[in-house]
Amino acid sequence: MKTFRIGGVHPAENKLSAACPIKKAALPKQAVFSLYQHIGAPAKPVVAKGDEVKVGTMLADADGFVSAPVFSSVSGKVAKIDAIVDASGYRRPAIFVDVEGDVWEDSIDRSETLVTLKDRPELTAQDIVAKVKAAGVVGMGGATFPCHVKLSPPPGSKAECVVINGVECEPYLTADHRLMLEKPDEILVGVALIMKAVQVSKAYIGIENNKPDAIKLMTEKAAAYPGIEIVPLQVKYPQGGEKQLVQAITGREVPAPPAIPIQVGAVVQNVGTAYAIYEAVMKNKPLLERVITVTGKSVKQPTNFLARIGTPMSQLIEECGGLPEDTGKVIGGGPMMGKALMNLDVPVCKGSSGLLIMNNKEARRGEIQPCIRCAKCVSACPMGLEPYLLATGSALKNWELVEENDITSCIECGSCQFTCPSNRPMLDNIRMGKSTVMAMIRARNAKK
């Protein structure tokens, strides 16, 4: 069974909602659309207060190449353009829409019929990239990098294969798992579209073997799609990291930053993104809803929702049986890389893969003890770094030391802190060191 070469940990999987079919979430009363739902420049509003919008109406357009438009997922009236504290914890501009009815733009094909590439032979690579760009599709695994950028390899680099992430290595989350079980054909057509867009004939879909049902179903279905291979992977975190995934599947190692997977010929996308690409290209449907897992040990009914983007998290929690009494922490995303939310009015964004509710006991970190130099962080680091050194160096503000020791290669997966017997806040320090060093590097490059 394949897996990545170095490091990694195996947190308790806790996939509580794995057997729960995707359920459509109720429409919210008011939907809130952050203009920062992707990496890059924020979207520019194209509506004003009082405008009538339908499901699929553009609210804000992309501002530059690395940016993505935002669409309304509801019909109604624009209430205001204001700011909210979103899942990132920052105050960000957002468009508020009061919901009235559920009227869709006529251009969107809402039928369930499968459209394959055979039905649309006229589609060219340029068409696909243009449609993906126009639909505002971003990386749905959580990184939210605008999808069309990855589908347009920079000059000088050539894509050789497509690597699709169906790993879902974060504990608790089951959104991608359910999507693979319920929409396998749509995902496979999406993968075929990606292959056509980057002009390669080979695609691999990596799935960890804690999802045998998904591996079986996808393997059966993939037989009908030439060039698509399902690769079962040994369960290990952070296999969903793109560098780890490319290495596990192709054996190639992406060099240190600023190198990206395309340098070894790989284009990496998430299964959720493949589904969104299918809907964007074949159904003309902009990215306006997504699957999100709402889960936690004390949640009454852990559920996978198909939720409209902009739906407040508090509403999803209500639909799962309400916020448990002993809630200590609410996390947007999974427990290893997700962000703790400051309030529950945060809306579902394009990158929201899960909502994890932890009780008071789980939410607290253990008591910090001195580093006993056990070297477990060094063994756990999937990037071959020395987390103990980077964490201490960052805490002492020794930026030269941490830069020399490749702090910028850190993918912030948290394996070091997860494994530390002394409960040291290693990643907190490393993050600070990494961002400081990156800023120093940018400043140096600007001077040149």
Partner 1 sequence: MANKLIVSLSPHVHGHDSVQRNMYGVCLALVPALIASLVFFGVGALIVLATSVLACVFFEWAITKYILRRDKVTIGDGSAILTGILLGFNLPSNLPIWIIIIGALVAIGIGKMTFGGLGCNPFNPALVGRVFLLISFPVQMTTWPVTGQMTTYLDGETAATPLAVMKEAIKANDPSVLEKLPDSLDMLIGQMGGSLGEVSALALLIGLVYMLVRKIITWHIPVSILLTVFVLSGLLHLYNPVYASPVAVLLSGGLMLGACFMATDYVTSPMTAKGQLVYGVAIGVLTVVIRTFGAYPEGMSFAILIMNGFTPLINTYCKPKRFGEVIKK
Residue 256 CB, shortest distance to partner 1, in Å, is 5
Output 41 or 441, the one with its CB closest to partner 1.
441
- Residue ranges of alpha helices (H) inside 56-183 are 125-134, 147-150, 175-182
Q: Which residues between 388 and 407 bind partner 1 (CB under 8 A)?
A: 388-389, 405-406
Number of residues that bind partner 1 (CB under 8 A): 75
Output 300 or 373, the one with its CB closest to partner 1.
373
Residue 313 is a binding residue for partner 1 (CB under 8 A) = no
Rounded alpha-carbon distances, angstroms, from residue 87 to 14, 33, 155, 237, 282: 23, 12, 35, 23, 30
Torsion of CA 343, 349, 352, 356, to 10 degrees: 20
Q: Which residues between 324 and 343 bind partner 1 (CB under 8 A)?
A: 327-331, 333, 335-343
Q: Single out the segment in contact with partner 1 by CB under 8 A; choices: 38-46, 55-63, 116-124, 420-428.
A: 420-428
How is the beta sheet containing 303-308 ordered, strand by strand? 23-24, 303-308, 289-295, 354-359, 327-332, 339-340
Strand positions, DSSP E, 89-222: 91-99, 161-165, 203-208
Q: Single out the segment in contact with partner 1 by CB under 8 A; choices: 124-132, 151-159, 219-227, 261-269.
A: 261-269
Residue 9 is a binding residue for partner 1 (CB under 8 A) = yes
Residue 158 is a binding residue for partner 1 (CB under 8 A) = no
Residue 280 CB, shortest distance to partner 1, in Å, is 30
Map tokens 């019929």 to a residue.
113
Crossing angle (nearest 10°) for helices 212-222 and 175-182? 40
Residue 417 is a binding residue for partner 1 (CB under 8 A) = yes
Q: How many CB atoms lie within 10 A of CB 76?
A: 22
Residue 82: CB partners within 8 Å, gap ≥ 6? Answer: 93, 94, 96
Return the residue of 157, 199, 423, 435 that touches partner 1, per CB under 8 A.
423
Residue 336 CB, shortest distance to partner 1, in Å, is 5
Q: Hey, what are 67's tokens?
A: 């940016």
Q: Single out the segment in contact with partner 1 by CB under 8 A; choices: 15-23, 109-117, 179-187, 427-435.
A: 427-435
Q: Which residues between 81 and 140 bind partner 1 (CB under 8 A)?
A: 89
Residue 409 is a binding residue for partner 1 (CB under 8 A) = yes
Q: Single out the segment in contact with partner 1 by CB under 8 A; choices: 102-110, 133-141, 249-257, 299-307.
A: 249-257
| Side-chain half-sphere CA neighbours of 187 within 13 A | 30
Output 44 or 202, the one with its CB closest to partner 1.
202
Crossing angle (nearest 10°) for helices 184-198 and 175-182? 100
Q: Would you call 328 helix, strand, or coil by DSSP?
A: strand
| Side-chain half-sphere CA neighbours of 420 within 13 A | 23
Phi-psi region of 282 (alpha: psi -120 to 50; beta: other; left: phi over 0): alpha
Residue 322 is a binding residue for partner 1 (CB under 8 A) = no
Q: Which residues between 342 and 381 bind partner 1 (CB under 8 A)?
A: 342-343, 356, 358, 362-366, 369-376, 378-379, 381
Return the residue of 1, 256, 396, 440 that touches partner 1, per CB under 8 A.
256
Residue 71 CB, shortest distance to partner 1, in Å, is 29
Map tokens 């002394």 to a residue.
422
Output 124 or 343, the one with its CB closest to partner 1.
343
Return the residue of 420, 433, 434, 437 that touches partner 1, per CB under 8 A.
420
